[in-house]
Structure 1
Amino acid sequence: MGYKGPISQRQRRFGEELQRLRTAAGLSAPEAGALVGMKGPAVSHTEAGRITLNPDRLETWLDAYGCTDSAYRRGLAEMGQSNGKGWWSEYEGRVPDLSLDLAELETRATRFDNFETLYIPGLLQSPAYAEAIYKDAYRNGRWDLATAIQFRMDRQQILDSDRQFRFVVHEAALRMQFPGLEAMRAQLAHILSVAERPNVTIQILPFTATKKPPSAGPFVVCNPGCTDLSTIVLDLPGRAEHDGTAESIAAYGWKFQQLSEIALPAVDATSLSSSRNSWGLLQYLLYPLQA
């Protein structure tokens, strides 16, 4: 059965994984198709994310491809059988497709690692800060500003789950004042509030860091419970790039770990008020904004 509408990132990734497994097993598309009663072109369409795949056929292929990792098989099956529907579905046609893809990725993830440089991470943004981010890009454009802000706020409901969220934010993002002093005051206070959640870890990478950061640009690592099925999201001008190659998953996992070690200790309201930890630095930056 073919998909209707645009092919989502999840559908593309599912197809890419099938193609990678088949190629590694040394089978051609016609040979793989013969195993499940499909012709070569249908296999190609499946690997391109254009048509769905029967669960029994998936199991047959995974067996033939020599895939024995139970977590990977389970994760791939869930990816292939998902109908792609969720709370974000009501926003179809009202926000960019890349925003819908990100919401679906976040919902599938059991661990979410995010490094940001100049902007506060979307899952930590206050409404006023989000408006300052969007107002120029959405002015007289295709998308409605109020809808974009509401979508971002709805995304944040996932923080109420038992998933693990880790953020490393550069100090530069905390010092930006383009939203205005009042909005930044509320934004910093909001970060301190969110950091109290047991499943959220927030660290600040200070200007005073003495080690070279392993990444100069922001990125997100969405892990759905199987590292091999993780997705790297790179926020590029006007688009988002998704990468699920083993090399990138390993590289960005290492980068985030290194950033965590370079950054100040996580925000913890029970720690001593000191600019040498993330909580203290946030308080230090918040103080002059309260005048």
Structure 2
Amino acid sequence: MTFEPGELDRSKADLAETLRTLRKRAGRTQVRLAQRVNMSQTKISNIEGEKITPSLVDVELILRALDAPSSLAARVASLARTANTEWQDVWSQRRTGLEKKQNELAGFERSSTVFRYFLLSMVTGLLATPEYVRASLAHIPGDHSKAIAKKLERQAVLHDTAKRFTFILTEQATRWPYLQGSAMAIQLDHLASVSRLPNVRLGVIPLSGHMPLAPLNTFTVYDTRVATVETSTGAMVFRDHRDISAYLNDFAVYEGYASFGEEARDLLSSWSTQYRS
């Protein structure tokens, strides 16, 4: 499916209007529909008022309760999937301030319990040293002191033992020379240190052996609710269960190729030694 950025915004309004129109044509009140689909009337009202975006399961239940014809149901389900996808371009993020993006990520971290990070090309902010964080924003014009402070502040979530984190980094992500040699060695040592936290599993996929897959993007899955996928010009946010399941499946495959524990720390130590030399 091809998504146009403007289409993603319009689809939410279109979905709400379509569901509202179908309900009225079927002669059902919000209260009656809510009873048939085992939802609250408030939720139905919020869906029709664009205050919340219904999941595909919600939409399918509503369409079934309204006896929507199969041809129409397919079109509305497609609209629902589009509505559950969000595009965040980097230029909008820069205009509104990079700290706003950090606040959004902090919100995901507060509301989630199980985190899965697949890191293809660089270290994520939760695992980065202050120097690495500063370097990651250095190419963007302007004062980013607030965003840097927020990135570093977010790292405290790693010490919340009620949450579980799995990080999978490719060798490229850990070794890409983003900093000068000694600073890169410190970053690699920091990864090894974080890997010892009791609620953190940190794995590394070395560039050796055979791996019959080629990952295309860095992505993160929060519980089983949200998946974010990064590109060079922005990020896609998926809430459709089919998209999330696909990324969970990919993550499980990459997890099988990763080295964890002492084996991962041995790799990180050897790469750190190379930078120091």
TM-score after normalising by structure 1: 0.65
What does residue range 1-291 of structure 1 map to in structure 2 within 5 Å?
A: 28-30=22-24, 31=28, 33-35=30-32, 43-47=47-51, 94-137=97-140, 139=141, 141=142, 144-162=143-161, 163-213=163-213, 215-223=215-223, 227=224, 230-264=225-259, 266-268=260-262, 277-291=263-277
For 1:253 and 1:41, locate their aligned partners in 2 and report how far apart those are by CA, in whole Å: 32
How far did 1:48 drift?
Answer: 5.2
Report if aligned partners of 1:117, 1:169 keep a CA contact under 8 Å in 2. yes
The residue type paired with residue 173 of structure 2 is A
- Letter of the aligned partner of 2:151 in structure 1? R
Per-residue deviation, residues 32-73 of structure 1 (Å, max 9, x unmatched): 6354778x9975323556xxxxxxxxxxx99x869xxxxxxx
SS in 1 for 2:98: coil
User: How many residue pairs get matched?
Assistant: 217
Q: For the Cα contact (< 8 Å) 2:170–2:206, is it kept in 1?
A: yes
Structure 2 alignment gaps of length 5 or more: 1-8, 35-40, 65-95
Whole-angstrom CA distance in 2 between matches of 1:115 and 1:127: 21
Partner of 1:87: none
Paired-residue identity, %: 21
Over the aligned positions, Cα root-mean-square deviation in angstroms equals 3.3
Answer yes or no: is the 8 Å Cα contact 1:32–1:43 preserved in 2: no
Q: 1:247 to 1:150 in 2, by over 3 A?
A: same
How far 1:98 sits from its partner (Å)? Answer: 3.3
Closer/same/farther in 2, CA of residues 169 and 32 from structure 1, 3 Å limit: farther
CA distance in 1, matches of 2:235, 2:159: 25
Query: Relative to 1, partners in 2 of residues 1:108 and 1:288: Cα closer, same or farther, differing over 3 Å?
Result: same
Tell me, yes or no, if the aligned pair for 1:94 and 1:147 is still in contact at 8 Å. no
Residue identity matched to 1:161: D
1-side partners of 2:122 and 2:29: how far apart? 46
Say if 1:43 and 1:242 are closer, same or farther in 2 by CA, change over 3 A. closer
Q: Which residue in the other structure is 1:52 paired with?
A: none
Cα 1:111–1:214 change in 2 (3 A) is farther
Shift in Å, 1:183: 1.7
SS at 2:216's partner residue?
coil
User: Which residue number corresponds to residue 79 of structure 1?
Assistant: none
2:204 counterpart SS class = strand
Q: Is the 8 A contact 2:116 2:165 kept in 1?
A: yes
Q: State how far apart, in whole Å, the 1-side matches of 2:23 and 2:119 are.
A: 41
Q: Which of the pair has the greater relative contact order for Cα pairs under 8 Å at 6+ separation?
A: 2
Change (3 A) 1:96 1:147: closer
Supply the distance in 2 between the matched residues of 1:232 and 1:184 (Cα, whole angstroms): 29
Inter-CA distance 43–115: structure 2 relative to 1 (3 Å threshold): closer
The amino acid across from 2:148 in the alignment is: I
2:83 corresponding residue in structure 1? none
Cα offsets for 1:6-49 (capped at 9, x unmatched): xxxxxx9xxx7xx79x97xx9935446354778x9975323556
Secondary structure at 1:28 match in 2 = helix
Query: Deviations for 1:69-103, whole angstroms, at most 9, x for unmatched residues?
Result: xxxxxxxxxxxxxxxxxxxxxxxx65354332222
